[in-house]
Structure formats: structure tokens, C-alpha cells
Structure 1
Amino acid sequence: MKKNKEFIVRNIADETVLVPVGETTQDFNGMITLSEVGAFIWEHIEEAPDFQSLVRLILNEYDVDEQTAATDAAAFLNQLLYMQMIVPNNPEKQW
């Protein structure tokens, strides 16, 4: 996955937020506050070649079982995709 470069990360008052910039500000009004795990996923999403690799990164960082990590990561990624905050590297290949 690739991050939409029209969203940048900012740390504000001990919270991690995604802020739209550029033309995106016309369509997306506001900021998205990320949980600790959400911020971790955002930080590492481009280095994971596939979904299972991303789940392994989460498992190495947090004390959570694989099923929970996979389910939560999939839900978060689907939201990011829906909001066009990330785009697939290869749209024909499913993550």
C-alpha cells in the first residue's frame, strides 16, 4: 500500500493525527485521530509488502493474538482505502 501524500502525520498534544493538505482540504474537512496501533500501521504500511507482513509487524510490536491483529488491521485498512488515504501498489492484486 502507498500513503496518499495529501495526508500528513502530526503529533498534537500527545495525539497522532492525519491532516489533509493541498487539494484534499477541499474534499476532506477535519483531522483523523489515530490510536497507537493506527499510528504504527500508518508509519509502517509502505514497508510491508503484503497484508500478512503487516500483521507480523503488529505482532512483533504489540501483545495481541494473530486473529485480533489481522481483523483489526483489515478493518482499519478498509477505512483508509474508503477514505482514499491509502492506495494499493497494484490495484489488480488483492492485499
Structure 2
Amino acid sequence: MRVGKEFMLREIAGDYIIIPTGETSLEFHGLITVNEVGVFLWNMLQNDVTIEEMVAGVLEEYDVEEEVAKEDIQEFLNALIEGGILTEDGRQ
């Protein structure tokens, strides 16, 4: 899975926000604010990665229990899928 090409991450006044670009901005009326871990996951999602690879990356980078990491990553991915930001193959 990976991020669709019509979305990008921007830093605005110290906050990280996922915003739509191009024609998608006409359909997607909102912004998603992400924290430091969200930015880390977003960067991983620029490539085709599995959930297992994301969990391994978070465990290596942050001091967190594996089950907590799995749950938080799944919640993040669900939000991206519901928003149409993430697709199984990266296409919008």
C-alpha cells in the first residue's frame, strides 16, 4: 500500500498537514493533521510497504510496545483509507 499521488504532506506553522492537490482538492474538503509518528509513517508510505514493515520501522525508531504500535498504525491507515488518501496500489 502507498499514498495516492494527489496528496502531499506540508509543514505549516510547526504543524504537519496532509493536503489534497490538483483536481482532488475540489473533491476533498478537509485537512488531516499528523504528529511526529504520523509524519514517519507518511514517509514510509511514499514507497510500497506492508503493515509489518511499518511496525518494524516504528519499533526501531520509537520506544513503544509492539501491540500499541500495531493498533496505532492500523488506526492511522484506516483514517487514510476512509479519506481516500491511501490505496492498496497507490492509485487514486
Identity of aligned residues (%): 37
Q: Flag the structure with more relative contact order, 1 or 2, with Cα contacts below 8 A and sequence separation at least 6.
A: 2
Q: Which residue does the alignment assign to 1:42?
A: 42
Q: Which residue does the alignment assign to 2:75?
A: 75
Q: Distance in 2 between matches of 1:33 and 1:45?
A: 16
Partners of 2:20 and 2:28 within 8 A in 1: yes
Residue pairs, 1:26-41, within 5 angstroms: 26-41=26-41
Q: What's the RMSD between the two structures over aligned residues?
A: 1.6
Structure 1 stretches of 4+ with a deviation exceeding 4 A read none
Name the amino acid aligned to 1:30: G
Q: Which residue does the alignment assign to 1:93?
A: none
Structure 1 residue 47, shift from structure 2 partner: 3.7
Q: Which runs of 5+ in 1 are unaligned?
A: 91-95
Q: Distance in 2 between matches of 1:75 and 1:54?
A: 13
Q: Which residue does the alignment assign to 2:60?
A: 60
Name the amino acid aligned to 1:58: V
Q: Distance in 2 between matches of 1:25 and 1:47?
A: 23
Name the amino acid aligned to 1:11: E
Structure 1 residue 48, shift from structure 2 partner: 5.7
Which stretch shifts more, 71-80 or 81-90? 81-90
Structure 1 residue 53, shift from structure 2 partner: 1.1
CA deviations over 1:28-58 (Å, ceiling 9, x no partner): 1232111111111001124463211110000
Q: Does 1:6 align with 2:6?
A: yes
Q: Which runs of 5+ in 2 are unaligned?
A: none
